Amino acid sequence: MTGKTAFETRYGFARSAVQLSNWRENPFNRWSFQNAGELVPSAPVAASGGTEPPRQELGSLLGEKVSLANGLETVAAFLARSDTDALTIMKAGTIIGDWFAPHMDFGGRHIIFSISKSFTAILAGILEGEGIFDPEAPVVSYIPEAKGSAYGDASVRHVLDMSVSLDFEEAYLDPESAFARYRRATLWNPGGGTESLREFILTLQRLAEPHGQTFRYRSPNSDLLGMLVERASGQRLTDLLREKLWLPLGAASEASITVDMEGTARTAGGISVTPRDLARVGEMMRQGGTANGRRIVPEAWVRDTVETGGSSEAWQRGTMAFLFPQGRYRNKWYQTGAQSGAFCGIGIHGQWVYVNPKTEVVIAKMSSQPVPVDDPLDVVAVAFFEALSRMV
């Protein structure tokens, strides 16, 4: 009788069980979210080569109780029930604690899904500061072939703030939807390779409502943003990410991003990084766009993104106002509207980078939640982050 392999003992299934058709499903996502590059073509983003400081255990903090919607709950209990794979906490720029599930190693990468959008917007902000990218310009000034699509009369600002009047639904679990076709174009689903991501996006059409009125969370906008910054800069997204963000940030580990049949980066959701490097991005934003004494993105852009910019009216007309009733959305980042001034990046299946300027705390949480979107859990997660940021 053959015993279990080390892989099967750790994850509860064989590696051969993980396929392109099921890699985002539980339990397979506990492994695949750390190894997206084995399933989807991916491009590397080199780091500076510095040494990562040793792991810092959360210790007694795991037993501390926080007040959540269902009553008092320990930090450890919430991490378990929210399918957390990794958690890193920084305070005033110093890493004060790491936590990893048994199936994830310290130093491992994890896909951050839609926090990739927030990274891509940072690149747009950097290029804006360099004078080579105009957020108020028409999309067609950079991508003329978008003329016949929903983006033909949209501005870059509409793309950045998710206010394009786009006839598209984020139907994550419908295999017959336009979203499934979108996933095939990204090579994230079986059957891809006949239509590129660029080709797919340029077939999308608009709704009757004018652009700019309603916050509509539509991921193709953010893939288009990646194409826009490439056109403006004349560089590949991976090169921009390395030169403009990853190296100046002092990221300790290589990142990666999934690509389509043409090598186009999946800037809406394909980036994988370590928890600590994700926290470093949040800390750079908390510091107004600086890291290691070096300015990375203009301070005015950061303030506009996390404090003053965005339309409250457009946010209230959208479908996510329940999460941040006083919130706004600007440049692919969420303003919570809380008194703490907290802001965040969010990805499906439980990816978060949460920044609390008042307490000087940054929290990076990576997860393998069974479903892409769990609205009730997201509401509790926000309360958890706010409470945790006051405890440390």
Distance CA 192, CA 181 (A): 8
Distance CA 124, CA 121 (A): 5
Catalytic residue among 42, 82, 114, 118: 114
Structure tokens at 170: 């984020």
Residue 343: what are its φ and ψ, rounded to 5°?
-140, 165
Structure tokens at 375: 């609205």
Which residues on adjacent β-strands are paired with residue 111? 272
Residue 79: what are its φ and ψ, rounded to 5°?
-60, -40
**Residues near 28 by beta carbon (within 8 Å), at least 6 away in sequence:** 13, 17, 18, 22
Q: What count of other Cβ atoms lies within 10 Å of the Cβ of residue 358? A: 12
Q: Which contacts of 371-376 are long-range, i.e. CB under 8 A and separated by 24 or more positions? A: 371/173, 372/24, 372/172, 372/173, 372/348, 373/172, 373/348, 374/350, 375/322, 375/323
Count, residues in the chain: 392
CA 389 to chain centre: 20
Residue 41 identity: P
Structure tokens at 371: 């479903």
How would you classify the pairing of strands 328-330 and 84-91? unpaired
Is 16 among the catalytic positions? no
Would you please indicate which residues are annotated as catalytic (active-site) residues?
114
